[in-house]
Amino acid sequence: MTVRETVVILDADIADLYGVETKRVNEAVKNNPDKFPSTYMFRLTREEMIFLRSKNPTAKISSKSRVLPAVFTERGLYMLATILKNKKAVNATFAIIETFANVRQLKRELRTLHQETDSHVQQSKMKHFGEMLSDIVMPDLETAETESTLELNFLIGKIKHTVKRVKKQNGSEHTETE
């Protein structure tokens, strides 16, 4: 949902996601206020709460709660995963760390790709880079085929890499291209 032009998730929904009670989510924020600046989480105003309840009848916003619900941005969701100690939160933290490490490796790969002068080595590195990027962006899909082209126009170099990935669903294959 969007509040104050920011995509957010309700504290109750995060509690469900991480398998804890909503009060545990709010306790984590209360005990670690320096880890949750306004770009990570904020409390809804009464007007925002009423508006969201009217627009989202399935939203878990209790009318009986004495405290206005907290909403978390993606950054706050990740920070909360590092604080909560249950298995789901720990697994989310591992996934975040792995993704971060993969993005850093992708950056290093891109740097070496641009420095490579041998076209065969460059093609191989380009293929590897495309596969790494696909694994980060579309982790649930398998690579079906790849295509790499290298085009040099005097002073300007152009690299294009296409990866076709498929995911089996209900016995049939669906194809997505990036």
The tens digit of pLDDT for each residue in 55-65 reads 776 667 766 66
**pLDDT confidence of residue 170:** 53
**Residue 164's CB: how many other CB atoms inside 10 A?**
15
**Any domain includes 168:** yes
118 and 76 share a domain?
Answer: no
7 and 76 share a domain?
Answer: yes
**Any domain includes 64:** yes
85, 114, 130 - which closes a domain = 85
74 and 119 share a domain?
Answer: no
**pLDDT confidence of residue 177:** 46
Percent above pLDDT 90 for the chain: 13
Looking at the whole model, is its pTM more than 0.85?
no
**Any domain includes 67:** yes
Given a cut of 90, whether residue 41 has pLDDT beyond it is yes
Mean pLDDT of the chain: 76
48 and 113 share a domain?
Answer: no
Average pLDDT value for residue range 80-84: 88
111 and 143 share a domain?
Answer: yes
Check if the beta carbon of residue 37 is closer than 8 Å to that of residue 73. Answer: no
Average pLDDT value for residue range 120-147: 69
Average pLDDT value for residue range 28-36: 93
d(CA 147, CA 138): 17
Average pLDDT value for residue range 69-89: 88
107 and 169 share a domain?
Answer: yes
Which residues partner with 166 through β-bridges? 142, 175
**Residue 31's CB: how many other CB atoms inside 10 A?**
9
**Any domain includes 150:** yes
Total tally of structural domains belonging to the chain: 2
Given a cut of 90, whether residue 110 has pLDDT beyond it is no
Average pLDDT value for residue range 99-125: 80
In sequence order, which ranges of 32-86 are alpha helices (DSSP H)? 46-55, 74-83
17 and 45 share a domain?
Answer: yes
Q: What's the chain's Rg over C-alpha atoms?
A: 22
**Any domain includes 125:** yes
Given a cut of 90, whether residue 28 has pLDDT beyond it is yes
105 and 73 share a domain?
Answer: no
**pLDDT confidence of residue 152:** 43
Query: What tokens were used for 86?
Result: 């249950």
**pLDDT confidence of residue 100:** 82
**pLDDT confidence of residue 55:** 79
Check if the beta carbon of residue 163 is closer than 8 Å to that of residue 178. Answer: yes
- Residue 62 is part of which domain span? 2-85
106 and 78 share a domain?
Answer: no
**pLDDT confidence of residue 148:** 47
